[in-house]
Structure 1
Amino acid sequence: MTRGNPLPIILKFTLPLLIGNIFQQFYNMVDTIIVGRFVGPDALAAVGSTGTIMFLVIGFSQGMSTGFTVLTSQRFGAGDENGTKRSVANGILLSLFVIVFMTFISLAFMRTLLKIMNTPQNIMEDAYTYISIICIGIFTNVFYNLFSSYLRSVGNSRIPLIFLVLSACLNIVLDLVFVINFKMGVAGAAWATNVSQGVSALLCIIYITKKVPVLTPEKHHWKLHGYDTKIQLSVGVPMALQFGITASGTMIMQSAVNLFGSVAVASNTAANKFQSMVIQGMMAMGQTMATYSGQNYGKGDIGRIKQGVRLALTTEVIYAVVCSVIVVLGLPFALRLFFSGNVDLADILPWAKTYSYLCASFYIPLGTIFIFRNTMQGCGYGLLPMLGGVVELVARLVTATLAIRFVSFPLACACDPAAWLSAALFTGISYVYVIKKVEKKLIS
């Protein structure tokens, strides 16, 4: 990614990530669709009510492990093969510590967390069952994201996509078997997710071992190196905290939504899943810019980084407008996927419209966050992107508090737009500061 016209390179790298992200969304989306249609609206609400907790637990673990791969991208861009292998081994060892810690903490405090979030009593047990099983499988999610990020760090976004598509298809099959044939309910959906992600992680490991020698550590690399650990933690910890802080804000929002009952929760869940699918291109572009900026930072080409950011922003704005149109026009059709024919959509649609239409108005600032945040992280600056997460948290906290105080569902739905607008302003200013600092560092 250090040579040639940046735009075609960025788009070519982003497309497989976009498709991969969409298929990764299938993991939880298929769970909600099959559970909603074959178990019932309450079961769908139970799965949906845990979405923000899953984002916290999985996102924190994923952010940490993905942050470990930034050093790999920089060393690969600099042509340091031995350093690349060493960073891979070091990242794997650090990820093992993350997995053990996150699995223990999440299982120990899950029921308490669900109660704090005002989870409706009629869906409490199903919610606890689903999220607990997902937490048992944290290791599958972390290892898939770690090894797929390693492949992307050397410019290969196609192979992780292929493996993800295969495992997403497997997830659909297992969901149908466990939920419909074995009558396992929400537990079946959770186990289907864990098994499928485990398969995708295993396929990545086999491919790297057989086909990508630069990412295959040798025997002497398998120990914790002080310098590598320091660098990887300096990027990984802020990325993890950024996920954690953002997730904490969405949990506060979910707590406000939960006050309006299981119908509101189910409606919001379906609308949110549809939205998450549509905006995956924004996230994919952000992931691309992390690799793009990391490799060009390693090469010392600040001008190319700035050029790539400008092109990515233009692309992101166009994509955001298209997303808004899709969400507004497609929402009534999307909702039919989540509910069986005996559910009256007239009860569901007003709740879903309130959330979706508010969010669709703020997709442009949301898109810029991914560009600025990931570019800064790719250059090795993790603190300011993390503080952007703090800004999101404060915005959601204030808005959710007002929603709870005035018992207002529109205010509860406005938590996301408020967070996006605030964080967009903060990360945009932060990017200007960081890019000047990087330019001064590379020139000197």
Structure 2
Amino acid sequence: MQQDTADFTRGRIFLPLLKFSLPILMALALQTAYGAVDLWMVGKFATSADVSAVSTGSQLMQSITSIIAGLTMGATVLLGQTLGEGRKEEAGPVIGSGICLFAAMAALLTGLTLLGAGGLATVTQAPAAAFSQTVSYIRICAGGLVFITAYNVFGSIFRGLGDSKTPLLTVFIACIVNIIGDYILVRVFGLGALGAAIATVAAQGVSVAVSLLVVRRRGLPFPFSRKHLRFRGGHVGRIFRLGAPIALQDGLVSVSFLVILAIVNSLGLTASAGMGVAEKLCGFIMLVPSAFMQSMSAFVAQNVGAGRLDRAGKALGRGILASLSFGLVIGCFAFFRGILLTGFFTPDAAVAAAGADYLRAYAVDCLLTSFLFPFIGYFNGRGRTAFVMLQGIVGAFGVRIPVSFLMSRITPVSLFLVGLATPCSSLVQIALCGAYFFYLHRRSKQETA
């Protein structure tokens, strides 16, 4: 039985885009859920120090994961464009080269993270009461980086094929494993942040095993064998050229959030734990725009390969409208009822209040990312990843870090004001994306005139 694929280069736009986006949305929701389960279990059955450790450690690991995911997006775009051009015989070498590239990268990142765990915890100003737990969390998760990398590689292959259902299956199984592992290790054995880290790594390993089984059973819609598993300079170079700017942009954006994390950690254990709770909730708030960003990349890449820029532009408009309709509802609830959400994760009233204060800023950003994330997916699909990197750097270092630092100097310190750095950055990035979109549109019309 062959792997299911989708052709986005003909027929209707909105329904196929929505159909493709929904499994991605559900997969992201489950992925966010098993990260949130870690924090919920630790918040209910461990200490505030464990909550802070999971918050800081998971944010650091998310930064590393974002670099991996950015690079694998290069494989998604290249595979999508290759299939859109009708060159199925080149798909196998593309995937084989990508696997070799990411295997080498996983080994390098694992070694660096294991050796530098203590330094990373120090740089992020992990509170003294949570320092040892933070270091242990980082080291255990670093041991699972090979699984994180493999999961993202499989995801890039499936999305490039237009298949968003298989990643949903793998992350669903991983979520179940993580919940069971958290209950046993955190609730029963009382291992706190250490148990949450072990459960997370185990869940990622299971997701990779399931992905391998799916590929072996269903096969791929193009020839692929062991002979394709080697470095090919041309393919590795194109994957790197497409993915490296995305990875650098995602990495630098994550660094900017780590700077904000360090600022908040310096305010004490309550603020640190509160931000950790809010960050997990933010993952849910940003689910819809994130799903459209990923689906937009694959949808646009196929149409670019087929020379259908008109369809790519129409898909962008529909993605923004769909994302905004969800963003209005979710953002309003998070802004006005955030305390109900943060209180679910911790019985500590002070931590819940701090988290709700920070969450209100993200509620504002939820509306803005309904525009920004589909734009980013569109430019990724068109291969304009250098621009994606540029606008991300401007937002992170030109706006987000300076604004958060200035807000943290206002007395009394408000996590809401510190969090407003994020929507301020999004506004600037949207302006840059809009200007670049119209520039490309005008240039395309001139070239076809």
Same fold flag (TM > 0.5): yes
Structure 1 alignment gaps of length 5 or more: none
Partner of 2:220: 213
Q: Verify the 8 A CA contact 2:342 2:353 in the aligned structure 1.
A: no
User: Is residue 2:412 matched to residue 1:402?
Assistant: no
User: Matched residue of 2:132: which SS?
Assistant: helix
Distance (Å, rounded) in 2 between the aligned partners of 1:218 and 1:227: 19
Partner of 1:351: 354
Q: Verify the 8 A CA contact 1:178 1:192 in the aligned structure 2.
A: yes
Partner of 1:80: 87
User: Matched residue of 2:221: which SS?
Assistant: helix
Distance (Å, rounded) in 2 between the aligned partners of 1:33 and 1:440: 55
Specify which of 276, 288, 292 is matched with residue 299 of structure 2: 292
Q: Verify the 8 A CA contact 2:335 2:364 in the aligned structure 1.
A: no
Distance (Å, rounded) in 2 between the aligned partners of 1:166 and 1:100: 25
Q: Verify the 8 A CA contact 2:68 2:152 in the aligned structure 1.
A: no
Which whole-Å deviations, capped at 9, do the CAs of 1:31-53 have from their partners, x for residues lacking one? 11101111122211111123331
Letter in 2 for 1:230: G
Partner of 1:92: 99
User: Matched residue of 2:344: which SS?
Assistant: helix
User: Matched residue of 2:343: which SS?
Assistant: helix
Matches within 5 A, 1:327-366: 327-340=334-347, 343=348, 345=349, 347-366=350-369
User: Matched residue of 1:214: which SS?
Assistant: coil
Once the two structures are overlaid, the 10-residue window that deviates more, 96-105 or 382-391, is: 96-105
Partner of 1:310: 317
Specify which of 23, 29, 44 is matched with residue 22 of structure 1: 29
Distance (Å, rounded) in 2 between the aligned partners of 1:193 and 1:390: 30
Distance (Å, rounded) in 2 between the aligned partners of 1:25 and 1:49: 16
How has the CA–CA distance of structure 1 residues 258 and 219 changed in structure 2, closer, same or farther, with 3 Å as cutoff?
closer
Distance (Å, rounded) in 2 between the aligned partners of 1:216 and 1:134: 35
Partner of 1:49: 56
Matches within 5 A, 1:367-382: 367-382=370-385
Distance (Å, rounded) in 2 between the aligned partners of 1:215 and 1:398: 49
Specify which of 119, 125, 135 is matched with residue 132 of structure 2: 125
Partner of 2:178: 171
Distance (Å, rounded) in 1 between the aligned partners of 2:330 and 2:306: 35
Q: Verify the 8 A CA contact 1:399 1:411 in the aligned structure 2.
A: no
Q: Verify the 8 A CA contact 1:252 1:396 in the aligned structure 2.
A: no
Q: How many residues align?
A: 439
User: Is residue 2:141 matched to residue 1:137?
Assistant: no
Distance (Å, rounded) in 1 between the aligned partners of 2:130 and 2:246: 32
Which whole-Å deviations, capped at 9, do the CAs of 1:23-73 have from their partners, x for residues lacking one? 001221111110111112221111112333122111112211232221111
Distance (Å, rounded) in 1 between the aligned partners of 2:368 and 2:26: 22
Partner of 1:13: 20
Distance (Å, rounded) in 2 between the aligned partners of 1:50 and 1:108: 15
Once the two structures are overlaid, the 10-residue window that deviates more, 44-53 or 407-416, is: 407-416
Matches within 5 A, 1:375-390: 375-390=378-393
Letter in 2 for 1:55: Q
Distance (Å, rounded) in 2 between the aligned partners of 1:335 and 1:115: 27
Distance (Å, rounded) in 2 between the aligned partners of 1:218 and 1:225: 15
Letter in 2 for 1:323: I
Once the two structures are TM-superposed, the CA of residue 437 in structure 1 deviates from its matched residue by: 5.2
Letter in 2 for 1:183: G
Distance (Å, rounded) in 2 between the aligned partners of 1:173 and 1:337: 19
Matches within 5 A, 1:166-205: 166-205=173-212
Q: Share of identical aligned residues, percent?
A: 24
How has the CA–CA distance of structure 1 residues 110 and 427 changed in structure 2, closer, same or farther, with 3 Å as cutoff?
farther
User: Is residue 2:417 matched to residue 1:411?
Assistant: yes
Q: Verify the 8 A CA contact 1:249 1:392 in the aligned structure 2.
A: no
Distance (Å, rounded) in 2 between the aligned partners of 1:435 and 1:102: 39
Matches within 5 A, 1:266-277: 266-277=273-284
Once the two structures are overlaid, the 10-residue window that deviates more, 271-280 or 31-40, is: 271-280
Once the two structures are overlaid, the 10-residue window that deviates more, 182-191 or 381-390, is: 182-191
Once the two structures are TM-superposed, the CA of residue 217 in structure 1 deviates from its matched residue by: 1.9
Letter in 1 for 2:257: T
Once the two structures are TM-superposed, the CA of residue 140 in structure 1 deviates from its matched residue by: 0.7
Once the two structures are TM-superposed, the CA of residue 118 in structure 1 deviates from its matched residue by: 2.0
Partner of 2:431: 425
Letter in 2 for 1:428: G
User: Is residue 2:44 matched to residue 1:37?
Assistant: yes
Once the two structures are overlaid, the 10-residue window that deviates more, 36-45 or 103-112, is: 103-112
How has the CA–CA distance of structure 1 residues 216 and 325 changed in structure 2, closer, same or farther, with 3 Å as cutoff?
farther
Taking structure 2 as the reference length, the TM-score comes to 0.93
What's the RMSD between the two structures over aligned residues? Answer: 1.9
Q: Verify the 8 A CA contact 1:208 1:215 in the aligned structure 2.
A: no
Once the two structures are TM-superposed, the CA of residue 105 in structure 1 deviates from its matched residue by: 2.0
Distance (Å, rounded) in 1 between the aligned partners of 2:85 and 2:217: 23
Once the two structures are TM-superposed, the CA of residue 388 in structure 1 deviates from its matched residue by: 1.6
Once the two structures are TM-superposed, the CA of residue 400 in structure 1 deviates from its matched residue by: 2.6
User: Matched residue of 1:204: which SS?
Assistant: helix
Distance (Å, rounded) in 1 between the aligned partners of 2:224 and 2:120: 40
Once the two structures are overlaid, the 10-residue window that deviates more, 181-190 or 91-100, is: 181-190
Distance (Å, rounded) in 1 between the aligned partners of 2:315 and 2:136: 45
How has the CA–CA distance of structure 1 residues 197 and 47 changed in structure 2, closer, same or farther, with 3 Å as cutoff?
same
Partner of 1:280: 287
User: Is residue 2:257 matched to residue 1:250?
Assistant: yes
Taking structure 1 as the reference length, the TM-score comes to 0.94
Specify which of 240, 243, 261 is matched with residue 247 of structure 2: 240
